[in-house]
Amino acid sequence: MGAGTGERRGRGVATARLLGAALLTGGVVLGGGGAYAAPSPSPTGHGTGHDDGRGGRSDGHGDRHGDDRTASPSATSPAAKPAAGPGGSPVGRPAGVTGSGAPATARKPGPPPAGLVLQPADGAAVGIPTVAGLRQALAAALQDKSLGTVTFAVADATSGQILYGAGENTPATPASTTKLATSLAALTLIPGDTRIATRVVAGASPADITLVGGGDPTLTALPADQVQIDGAPADADTAPASLEALAARTAAALRAAGTATVRLGYDVSLYTGSPQHADYDALNIPLMTPLMADEGKADPRSREEAPARVADPAGQAAETFAALLKAHGITVEGKAKQTAAAAPAGAAVLAEVTSPTVARLVERLLTTSDNTLAEAIARQVALAAHKPAGFDGAATAVTDTLAGLGVRSAGLVLHDGSGLHAGNTIPPAVLVQLLGLASSPDHPELRPVLTGLPVAGFTGTLGKRFGAGSGAAEAAGLVRAKTGTRSGVNTLAGTVVDADGRLLSFAVMTRTTAPADTARAAMDRIVARLAACGCH
């Protein structure tokens, strides 16, 4: 340990507790018809649904890939070795683009308020960990047999330089750490203050109206006092857009026009291709349509990590909306019907509601590892990049956007935005490069990637990890990381404050036959060793 460890530890702990959600509110709104500038609307729009850290499939509040896939790995860990070359030097990014293709540079969020985001220690005052120091600190933890085959990378978050690793350039299954790539791409192309709109537009006659899905899966049919996100009540910045509010506004507009009876259609033309994920099970993710309420849950109040989903999310949302219109005195003839074509671009907007900002949505999908929200945000990336808004187009858009940032392409293969797909691969070195970009002072717009990471022992999918008896409790509050789990696969990628107060980034990726909880605890102990040393 370096000199002055106690003093530096205190400084590191205090600094770590300053990490917060430094995000903006305001004015770009995405909907079925693209994007437009709007005066800062009141915060709306969020839902729940996760996939990482605690339960079955792809990680997220659920790290859910159960235990039913993936061949048994080798039970031995490769010998750790020094890693060569820089891991994440910031690279210039192209100008951001909104969903309609309009340049977003004028609306680029400014840097977050001072003090809310962890600042790296002054490199001149604190020495960078050495290979020898890291090897000594991690040697025992890396020998844990429950890890199976482990690859990893440790980098200096200030410079992005990889300091130590083993198999750091080897492609590995990322599970829900895929969401780091999705989130980084989204905040590169889409201004953080963008909101996703759900609209009702006028049809060919006064009696025809169309509910247009804009791609907000967090739209809720629940009363405001029943909405929870990761088990806590939503606040003003994270509260989801309300289907009830949309119905009330629509009814008011119809009454003002002298219309009391309507025929309701719904438009789901924004997305393309099959709505069914390759790993669809009607639990971890619904059919992906641009119109759904409460992420397509059969029970909107469900707190299950992998809740049952409705068979037709768009149709169910439209029927719920029709019932709400009736409650506001508007008669809806027959059943809501899916429109054969997209609503005309110039159709008069009768009412709309908007989601929380994209920055807030990114934080949520990372904290709770929300598969559905991750796939929806990936489709917004596709729209911003002028790609088809389906699984393939979204994966291509994310990959291309990362390439434009200078992210290494070798070993990076994406098939979705959530990490549910078994064919995704990302090397540890690429994960730490993504974290390095999010940490870079050159990219303040990417900071929600860091503020959205779960805090060890406190929030999201790390809320029940790094606890007493884990052997990693001393790192609680000092680690922020994205979790990932599939059958036999466990990943963890994030940042940690070491004993000298220096911010390090890391990625640990394992393939093992050990129980998931056992493997996760062994990974947590690796990261705890980083927090406990200066490693000089």
Is 369 known to be catalytic? yes
Contact between residue 530 and residue 124 where contact means Cβ atoms under 8 Å apart: no
Give the integer Cα–Cα distance in Å for 334 and 327.
16
Q: Tell me the HSE value of 187 on the side-chain side, using a 13 A CA sphere.
A: 29
Contact between residue 516 and residue 467 where contact means Cβ atoms under 8 Å apart: no
| Residues 6+ positions from 6 with CB-CB distance below 8 Å | none
What string of DSSP letters covers 247-298? HHHHHHHHHHTT--EEEEEEE-TTS-S-SS-TT--SSSS----S--SGGGBS
The CA distances from residue 346 to 255, 264, 337, in Å, are: 22, 18, 21
- Choosing from 77, 176, 355, 418, the catalytic residue is 176
Is 179 known to be catalytic? yes
Q: Record the tokens describing residue 298, joined without a space.
A: 């059969």
User: First vs last Cα of the chain: how many Å apart?
Assistant: 7
Give the integer Cα–Cα distance in Å for 339 and 341.
5
- Choosing from 58, 77, 146, 179, the catalytic residue is 179
Q: Record the tokens describing residue 51, joined without a space.
A: 């996939």
Give the integer Cα–Cα distance in Å for 461 and 56.
12
Give the integer Cα–Cα distance in Å for 49 and 461.
12
Is 418 known to be catalytic? no
The CA distances from residue 190 to 34, 266, 286, 359, in Å, are: 12, 26, 24, 9
- Supply the DSSP symbol for 444: G
Give the integer Cα–Cα distance in Å for 289 and 219.
12
- Choosing from 369, 418, 470, 505, the catalytic residue is 369
Place of tokens 């000199």: 3
Residue 246: which H helix or E strand, with range?
helix 243-256
Q: For residue 480, what are the β-bridge partners?
A: 455, 495
Nearest residue to 432 (alpha-carbon basis) of 491, 488, 475, 387: 491
- Supply the DSSP symbol for 303: -
Give the integer Cα–Cα distance in Å for 98 and 101.
5
Residues labelled as active-site residues:
176, 179, 369
